[in-house]
Amino acid sequence: MEEMLFIRTEVVPALARGIIVSIQLIIPSSALGLLVGMAVGAARVYGNRSLTFAANCYVAIFRGFPLVVQLFIWYFGLPYIGIYMTPYVAAVLGFSLCSGAYHSEYIRGAFLSIKQGQLMAAKALGFSHVGMLIHVIFPQAFRRALPGCGNEIVYLIKYSSLAYMITCIELTGEGKIIASETFKYIEIFLIIGAVYLFLTTIASWFLRRLENRLSIPGFKPFSV
């Protein structure tokens, strides 16, 4: 009985609080990450030499450093040079910049897959530079990049579990605190695992639906 009361008054509210924070981390980070990825991806394909070089360096560093290390640098490292961020901002920034680097890989690949001939044809039809980008390149590139970027978003949902290490206490952090107070590791981490499984499953399902919805007969997205 006491057990039930404990679950109702402590475990459930804490996990609910954690889920909300997790979702508040995941949604802006994936949106921002995609934006960063598009900008960097475009810069790597269409930018001039120095821009391409800078973008490549960014991708090499952010794909080469483990995410945990990046988060610690954002949160505990940057104050050394006078930049202070709240745990939440540091986490969202860390997630966005890291996943942006990965997104840019898929987006770059998608841009490159569009044949030069199409661009010439568009020019011949009188499209402006911007018009060509919006009406010819983006619709195709978006469809091609979608499977990769979708995967990256699913990764992000899982990696959001690292935010508690820089004191942004989300689902995993709340779980860890309760588990270390109650010593009920198995029960609590099974519940938490189930929540993440639910989130990643929904996200993949939604992304697959989006892919099918957008698919054009005869237009083949990459098979990676």
Partner 1 sequence: MIESLTILAGALPYLLKGSVVTIGVVFGAMSLGLLFGIALAVGQVYGAIWLKRLIGLYVWFFRGVPLLVLLFLFYFGLFSLLNINLTAFTVAVIVLGLISAAYQSQIFRGAIVSLPDGQLKAARALGMSDATAIVLIILPQALRLAIPAWSNEYSIVLKDSAVAYALGVTEIMARAHFVASRTYQHLPLYFTAGVIFLILTYAGTKALRLLEERVHIPGYSQ
Partner 2 sequence: MGKRILWALALLTAVFILTNATYSMAAEKIYINGIDANFPPFAYVDKKGNADGFDVKALDWIAKEMGFKVEHKPMDWDGIIPSLRAKKIDIIASGMSITDKRKEQVNFTIPYWNIAQVIVAPKDSTATVDELLSKGNKIGVQRGTTEARWIKENLIAKGKNFSLVEYDSAPLSVEDVLNGRIKGAAMDDAPAKDAVNKKPVRIVGTFGMPSEDFGYAVRKEDSELLKKLDEGLKKLMASPYWNELKRKYNP
Residues making contact with partner 2 (CB under 8 A): 76, 79, 84, 86-87, 165, 167, 169, 173, 176-177, 179-181, 183, 185
Structure tokens at 87: 């745990």
162 part of the interface to partner 1, by CB under 8 A: yes
Least distance between partner 1 and beta carbon 135 (Å): 32
- CA–CA separation, 208 and 215 (whole Å): 10
User: Is there binding between residue 177 and partner 1 (CB under 8 A)?
Assistant: no
If one asks whether residue 6 binds partner 1 (CB under 8 A), the answer comes out as no
- Find all residues with CB under 8 Å of 21, minimum gap 6, and list them: 163, 168, 169, 170, 171, 174
* Three-state DSSP state, 92: helix
Stretch that binds partner 1, among 41-49, 115-123, 135-143, 189-197 (CB under 8 A): 189-197
Is residue 181 within the footprint of partner 1 (CB under 8 A)?
A: no
Please, which residue, 84 or 213, has the CB nearer to partner 2? Answer: 84
Q: What share of the chain is helix, strand, coil (3-state, %, to 5)?
A: 85, 0, 15
Between 108 and 176, CB nearer to partner 2: 176
Asked if residue 100 lies in contact with residue 32, where contact means CB atoms within 8 angstroms, the answer is: yes
- In what helix (H) or strand (E) does residue 26 lie, and over which residues does it extend? helix 12-46
Residue 5 engages partner 1 in binding (rule: CB under 8 A): no
Return the DSSP state at 168.
-
Among 70, 96, 99, 104, binds partner 1 (CB under 8 A): 70
**Site mask for partner 1 (CB under 8 A), range 44-63, x = bound:** ----------------xx-x
* Among 46, 53, 76, 219, interactor with partner 1 by CB under 8 A: 76
Neighbour-count burial for 92-126, b at 16+ CB within 10 Å, e otherwise: bbbbbbbbbbbbbbbbbbbbeebeeeebeebeeee
Which residues of the shown chain bind partner 1 in the complex (CB under 8 A)? 60-61, 63-70, 72-73, 76-78, 80-81, 154, 158-162, 165, 172, 175-176, 179, 185-186, 189-190, 192-193, 196-197, 200-201, 223-224
